């Protein structure tokens, strides 16, 4: 797993991961936050339901996809954490928002 160097400073940003309250370090990407919190996986694939986690952290592998504030398929490695952000690790392809059809 990964541990934090003291230089990094403390996590002070409140957000939620899968509905659970957590503190994140300002400036971290969503993917780094998940890794730092001990989550190796961030989703399951739509093809086979296999667990996946971030692989390249530079925006080219598309394995770090998570749902952020209700928007699915966001590259966690490309997005910086914000206070109050709701991060949800996603299962397969995302559910259709039935309300959107009205």
Partner 1 sequence: MNAVDALKASYELAVIGAGPAGMAAAVAAAQRGVATILFDEQASPGGQMYRGVTTTPLRRRELLGDDYWRGQGLVDALLGCAADYVPRSMVWAVTRIGDGFELAVSRDGVAHLVRVAHLIVATGAQERPFPIPGWTLPGVMTVGAAQILLKTAGLVPGDGTVVAGSGPLLALVLAQFAAAGVSVNAVLDTTPRDRWRAAWRDIIGFAASPYLAKGVALLRRARTAGRIVRGVESLEAIGGHRIERVRYRTGGQTIELACTSLLLHQGVVPNINFANAIGCEQRWDDIQACFVPVVDAWGASSVPGVTLAGDGAGIAGARAAEAHGRIAALNAACAIGRIDPAQRDAAGAAAQADRARWLRGRRFLDVMYRPAPQYRIPVGDTVVCRCEEVTARQVLESVRLGCTGPNQMKSFLRCGMGPCQGRFCGLTVSELIAKERGSTPAEIGHYRLRFPIKPITLGELASLPQTEASEQAVVRLPK
Partner 2 sequence: MTVLTADVAIIGGGLHGCSTALHLARAGATAIVIEKNHVGRHASGVNAGGVRTLARDEAEIPLALESLEMWHRIEDLVDDDCGFEAHGQVRVAETEQDMTTLRTREARLQSLGYTHERWIDPPELFERIPALARYCLGGLIAERDGAALPYRTTAAFRRKAEALGQRFIEGTRVLAVAQQGQDWRLETSVGKISAGSVVNCAGAWADRICAQVGEPVPLEAIAPMMMVTLRMPRFLSPVVIGTGRPLSFKQTTEGTVLIGGGRRARTDRDAETTELDFQELGASARMVRDLFPVMRGAVVNRGWAGIEARMPDDIPVIGPSLRAPRLFHQFGFSAHGFELAPVVGHVIADLVTRGASDSALEKFSIGRFASPTGSVRRL
Query: Rounded distance, CA 57 to CA 62, Å?
Result: 9
Site map 44..73 versus partner 2, x via CB under 8 A: --xx-----------------------xxx
Nearer to partner 1, 16 or 56 (CB): 56
**Which of partner 2, partner 1, none is residue 27 near (CB under 5 to 8 Å by kind)?**
partner 1
Cα–Cα separations (whole angstroms), residue 15 to 8, 42, 61, 78? 18, 16, 25, 17
- Which residue among 1, 5, 21, 100 contacts partner 2 (CB under 8 A)? 100
SS3 91: strand
Q: Provide CB contacts within 8 A for 7, sequence distance 6+.
A: none
Nearer to partner 2, 1 or 96 (CB): 96
Contacts with partner 1, residue ranges (CB under 8 A): 1-5, 7-9, 25, 27-29, 32, 35-36, 40-42, 45, 47-48, 50-63, 65, 77-78, 80
Size, binding site for partner 2 by CB under 8 A: 14
First to last CA, the chain: 45
């Amino acid at each position: 797993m990964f541990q934090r160097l003291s230089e990094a400073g403390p996590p002070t940003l409140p957000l939620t991961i899968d509905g659970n309250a957590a503190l994140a370090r300002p400036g971290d990407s969503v993917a780094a936050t998940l890794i730092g919190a001990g989550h190796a996986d961030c989703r399951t694939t739509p093809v086979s339901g296999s667990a996946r986690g971030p692989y390249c952290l530079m925006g080219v592998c598309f394995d770090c996809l998570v749902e952020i504030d209700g928007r699915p398929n966001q590259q966690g490695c490309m997005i910086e954490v914000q206070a109050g952000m709701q991060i949800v690790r996603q299962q397969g392809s995302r559910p259709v928002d039935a309300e959107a059809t009205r």
